[in-house]
């Protein structure tokens, strides 16, 4: 949900309870992880002396998950974000609110 809606609803309907559906929670988690990944890859491209190149055969031999895991192992910030993000998705999928909300 857009943050502007939250403040508008609170001002307009002070006693209203706001609920956010599952789609938007997962979407926010995924977008946040994607933004961190893009930010780190851009930082790597600008500040690294080595050029990051992808071999065209990677598509044939590595799955998208394998490539993501290699990137995560290569970058500590991305690994920390991934290690935070994955359990949240699991808690959410298992409907374990105690872990998800703490």
Q: If we measure between CA atoms, which residue out of 22, 13, 36 comes closest to residue 85?
A: 36
What's the pTM? 0.57
The answer to the question of residue 7 being in a domain is: no
pLDDT in tens, 7-24: 888 888 888 887 777 788
pLDDT at 29 over 80: yes
**Better pLDDT: 59 or 35:** 35
Q: How many structural domains is the chain composed of?
A: 1
Tens digit of each residue's pLDDT (9 = 90 or more) over 30-48: 888 888 888 887 776 666 6
Q: 28 versus 70: which is more confidently predicted?
A: 28
Q: Domain range for residue 28? A: 22-100
Residue 43 domain flag: yes
Taking the chain, what is the end-to-end CA distance rounded to the nearest angstrom? 20
Q: Map tokens 């995560």 to a residue.
A: 72
Residue 62 lies in a domain: yes
Instruction: Classify residue 11: in a domain, yes or no.
Output: no
CB 89 within 8 A of CB 26: yes
pLDDT at 47: 62
Residue 81 lies in a domain: yes
């Amino acid at each position: 949900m857009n943050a502007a809606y939250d403040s508008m609803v609170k001002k307009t309907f002070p006693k209203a309870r706001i609920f956010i559906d599952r789609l938007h929670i997962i979407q926010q988690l995924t977008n946040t992880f994607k933004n961190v990944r893009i930010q780190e890859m851009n930082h790597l491209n600008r500040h690294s002396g080595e050029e990051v190149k992808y071999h065209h055969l990677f598509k044939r031999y590595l799955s998208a998950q394998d490539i993501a895991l290699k990137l995560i192992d290569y970058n500590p910030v991305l690994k920390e974000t991934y290690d935070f993000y994955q359990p949240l998705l699991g808690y959410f999928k298992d409907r374990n609110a105690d872990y998800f909300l703490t």
